[in-house]
């Protein structure tokens, strides 16, 4: 099994498990979704797998969007607990953290590009 297939397999497994977890939570919270998820059991295995992968991809994207919005929001809870003299250091810390996140994101993108190039050269 080459690294490309292994990465795809692991990513698909992650999406399936995330999709199954999402389907379970939806079933517990919403009777209509419960009926939809029960009807999914009558579908073929490939169709079930495809549905769970898609649900997992959507859930992953929603989680990423949520986390990105959390990082970009100003931290209001800290500002009410501290005096105004602490605000500049908090802003500096947030700016440093944001810069570190951007650097790590760029590094991950570079690693992905390198991995893709290695896949294509094999």
CA dihedral sign, ordered 61, 67, 70, 71: negative
pLDDT 10s digits, 47-83: 888 989 999 999 999 989 988 888 887 665 554 444 4
pLDDT 10s digits, 5-40: 888 889 899 999 988 888 888 888 888 888 888 888
Give the 3-state DSSP-derived string for 1-15, with helices as H, strands as E and coil as C: CCHHHHHHHHHHHHH
Give domain limits for the chain: 1-71, 89-122
pLDDT 10s digits, 84-114: 444 555 667 777 888 888 888 888 888 888 8
Residues composing the chain: 122
pTM above the 0.85 mark?
no
């Amino acid at each position: 099994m080459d690294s490309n297939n292994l990465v795809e397999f692991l990513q698909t497994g992650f999406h399936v498990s995330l999709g199954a977890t999402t389907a379970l939570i939806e079933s517990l919270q919403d009777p209509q979704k419960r009926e939809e998820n029960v009807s999914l059991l009558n579908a073929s295995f490939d169709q079930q797998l495809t549905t769970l992968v898609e649900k997992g991809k959507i859930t992953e994207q929603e989680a990423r969007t949520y986390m990105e919005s959390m990082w970009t929001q100003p931290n209001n809870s800290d500002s009410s607990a501290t005096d105004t003299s602490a605000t500049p250091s908090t802003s500096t810390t947030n700016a440093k953290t944001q810069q570190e996140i951007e650097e790590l994101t760029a590094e991950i993108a570079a690693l992905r590009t390198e991995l893709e190039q290695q896949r294509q050269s094999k």
